[in-house]
Amino acid sequence: MTPRVSLQYSQWWIMKKPRAAVGNGTRRRKQASSQEGRGKRALSSSQAKSSVPDACAGTIPEFPEVPAGLARQQEEVVLQASVSPYHLFRDTAEVTVFRESLLSWYDREKRDLPWRRLAESEVDPDKRAYDVWVSEVMLQQTQVATVISYYTRWMQKWPTLHDLASASLEEVNQLWAGLGYYSRGRRLQAGARKVVEELGGHMPRTAETLQRLLPGVGRYTAGAIASIAFGQATGVVDGNVVRVLCRVRAIGADPSSTLVSQQLWSLAQQLVDPARPGDFNQAAMELGAMVCTPQRPLCSQCPVQSLCRAYQRVEREQLSASRSLPGTCDIEECAPNTGQCQLCSPPTEPWDQMLGVANFPRKANRRPPREECRATCILEQPRAFGGARILLVQRPNSGLLAGLWEFPSVTAEPAGQHQRKALLQELQSWVGPLPATRLQHLGQVVHTFSHIKLTYQVYSLALEERTPATIVPPGARWLTREEFHTAAVSTAMKKVFRVFESQQPGTCKASKRSRMSTLSRRKKPSPGQQVLDNFLRPHIPADAPSLNSAAQ
């Protein structure tokens, strides 16, 4: 149970607390003509998988009998009382060295990214905030290399908030198709409409108002926009920053816990450079993405190596292993009296010599995704007027892949005998009676979403009638193959369609198989060569699946 603290102790601690750790939360940078704080940050694949950024908002427990502001102060006292100074920055000199070293490295090594160029050159603060906002939303859970092309197309199509606000949701889904986590695009457009229709076209200027007024904007995104676009001295914590701070201060406790998460935000706020907050936040994230990586970090290239307690621990362990130094325990430096520091690694997770600094941060215990199976069918009209067409139906407006288009599908057991029957009934609900004998199984596709491992059993069925392609039931579309590739469909459906295309006559794979069989007929090897070929030919089990596409 969290201990309560007295008001007198709270006031004493606030007075004694280093100025940098207290004042930054309320400082605001003047917005006159400064060009500082502009630019953009980048995420790595490790960020694509972190849950810290926007999930941290509202996690500070408040005492009901005191005002919220005082409750936050008391919570900070509890945090400080339950951790050792070993995990903190104890003087301003350390903070100054950290800022200067990190920003100097960033100025030399930062990547040239399209959102950074836009933000650095944009004069209009609302347009600059929009440029940053779009990139921040796209970069959540997604790698930089993937985002670049999407961001470029997006800004070409909707260069301003007003352009995005006037777009249709169908257009947004279409451009977002393949980027994943589709609710991000919907919330981005909803936010743009709110800014245009309710806020006079002006973006909120602080992290607090951004988070409060804009849908889908959490604590991290709000802080990133406020610091980069408006120069507010507010720290940010994403997956990369978690990793950097946990290593620099040897924080081995679970970073997703309330106490550790709040301590990381406190450290980020203490460290952020008030003169260049946007650049500093991007530099911290860039360091995690490029140098302080999850595996095989490049410690020799780290600009803050001298301040890194994880690196110091590695050196100490190496000396101890070589018997040059008597064995020491890191916890003794951290909490010599009690051994109960809330930021240290638990005793059940001893130091792994092979991991080095990658012992930090502690790996989260994540549940494996649940497994589901669906049967889906590419229903084609090969003889439709105007060219061959395939049927797509729209998903519900809420839930997984909301509003996107897909092939008719049904939930099915992995090896259920009624799979074909259920799928045929679903198809008939869209187009009327169909012959069951034409339903052909093509293979399977496995696609992993954030929390679901979904296996699609892929079928096809061709309609022989020359039905006009313009006749469609509500919620369905007949599209050409070319139109399918530009429609608002998920990556999973594109994988399913590739299975279908691979089975069609005239495709590259089919043509390659045909050429190989022709060559084998033309060239008849000698009897001795036939025996050698049979001996070297790999054995393929008869029950091997026709396709098992791994999820990306």
Would you please indicate which residues are annotated as catalytic (active-site) residues?
Answer: 136
Provide the terminal-to-terminal Cα distance of the chain, rounded to the nearest Å.
42
The count of other CB atoms within 10 Å of the CB of residue 416 is 14
Return the DSSP state at 362.
P
The C-alpha atoms of residue 214 and residue 203 are separated, in whole angstroms, by 9
Return the DSSP state at 489.
B
Q: Which residues contact 234 (CB under 8 A, 6 or more apart)?
A: 24, 25, 207, 223, 226, 227, 269, 272, 277
Q: Are 248 and 87 in contact (CB under 8 A)?
A: no
The C-alpha atoms of residue 358 and residue 292 are separated, in whole angstroms, by 9
Number of H helices, E strands in the chain: 22, 8
Q: Are 60 and 72 in contact (CB under 8 A)?
A: yes
The C-alpha atoms of residue 77 and residue 95 are separated, in whole angstroms, by 21
Quote the distance between the C-alpha of residue 536 and its chain's center: 45
Residue 418 tokens read as 């009624």
Strand 389-394 to 409-411 pairing: unpaired
Instruction: Indicate the helix (H) or strand (E) that contains 549.
Output: strand 548-549
Tokens 């090897």 belong to residue: 525
3-state helix/strand/coil string of 58-72: CCCCCCCCCCHHHHH
Q: Are 5 and 75 in contact (CB under 8 A)?
A: no
